[in-house]
Amino acid sequence: MQALEKISDQRLFGGRQMRFAHDSKVLNCRMQFSVFLPPQTAQQDVPSLYWLSGLTCTDENFSAKAGAQRVAAELGIALVIPDTSPRGDAVPDDPEGAYDFGLGAGFYVNATAAPFAKHYQMYDYISKELPALVEAELPLSTKRSISGHSMGGHGALVMALRESGRYCSVSAFAPISNPIHCPWGRKALAGYLGKDESTWQAYDASVLLAAQKTALPILVDQGDADQFLAEQLKPEALLAASTISGSDIELRIQPGYDHSYYFIASFIEDHLRFHSRYLLPQS
């Protein structure tokens, strides 16, 4: 098992906001991630909510801006917050330095195209390597849910739909719902997977949801003032897919909200309480 190097540890709402580094065998680089451990971990292992962040973010955006720890401490849910891509001097980046591909924009896929395949295995890192590591080294149970924002909302939905039984519930804020039909998605999928568009569908939540009926609890919040709504996010595709498969999904359109962390902070309590219904025993 890889050793965890503790980078920081702050007291917060009776729990601990921590940051770790470790050598990732999956990503072939050194990675950092953040964890909030609620006060209940002093007595027992607790379930986890994995949070996947969006383009340009690191593991620190959510922990600093979303204000999730107060409710997580009350409920007894840990927050596991990975980075958004592999990092390091040896990790290839967008050749033109664009924000929407490469470093900070791993898109939560397993890359197959050169030169990205050596490092950009974010799907396996999030779904396999990181949970095995934190559940062995920290007071966490094997009960997990997953959530995310924008690119991270895409990743959360795709992983929950593909990994049957691994997650108890899934939620998303302004997810990239149909990446095979939006500029961000097409650029990322072509760059990481190559030009064969048939391989892209395995990473499109709308395609996956249309093809299978799922009983997985799904909550999605989308602001109607989001500057990326029409061109990049396409929540209507996700809703149409749920109708095709007969799956239940709660899609809430929030009037006046944009794509920022102010939007996330406004509704993160709703999402944590939603996940608590499936992660925690109900009295």
Sheet containing strand 29-37, edge to edge, reads 5-12, 15-24, 29-37, 78-82, 46-52, 140-149, 170-173, 218-223, 250-254
Cis peptide leading into residue 281 (ω within 30°): no
146-197 pLDDT, tens digit per residue, is: 999 999 999 999 999 999 899 999 999 999 999 999 999 999 999 999 999 9
Read off the tokens for 98: 């664009």
| Domain coordinates in residue numbering, the chain | 5-279
Q: In this structure, which topology does domain 5-279 adopt according to CATH?
A: Rossmann fold (3.40.50)
* pLDDT exceeds 70 at position 133: yes
Read off the tokens for 207: 């395609």
Stretch 8-22: mean pLDDT:
98
Question: Residue 220's closest CA among 253, 247, 260?
Answer: 253
pTM over 0.95: yes
What is the C-alpha separation between 33 and 184, in angstroms, rounded?
A: 24
Active-site annotation, residues: 150, 226, 259
What is the C-alpha separation between 30 and 26, in angstroms, rounded?
A: 10
What is the C-alpha separation between 37 and 42, in angstroms, rounded?
A: 9
User: Quick one: pLDDT at residue 13?
Assistant: 98
* pLDDT exceeds 80 at position 2: no
- Distance of CA 91 to CAs 12, 81, 104, 150, 196, Å? 34, 21, 11, 23, 24
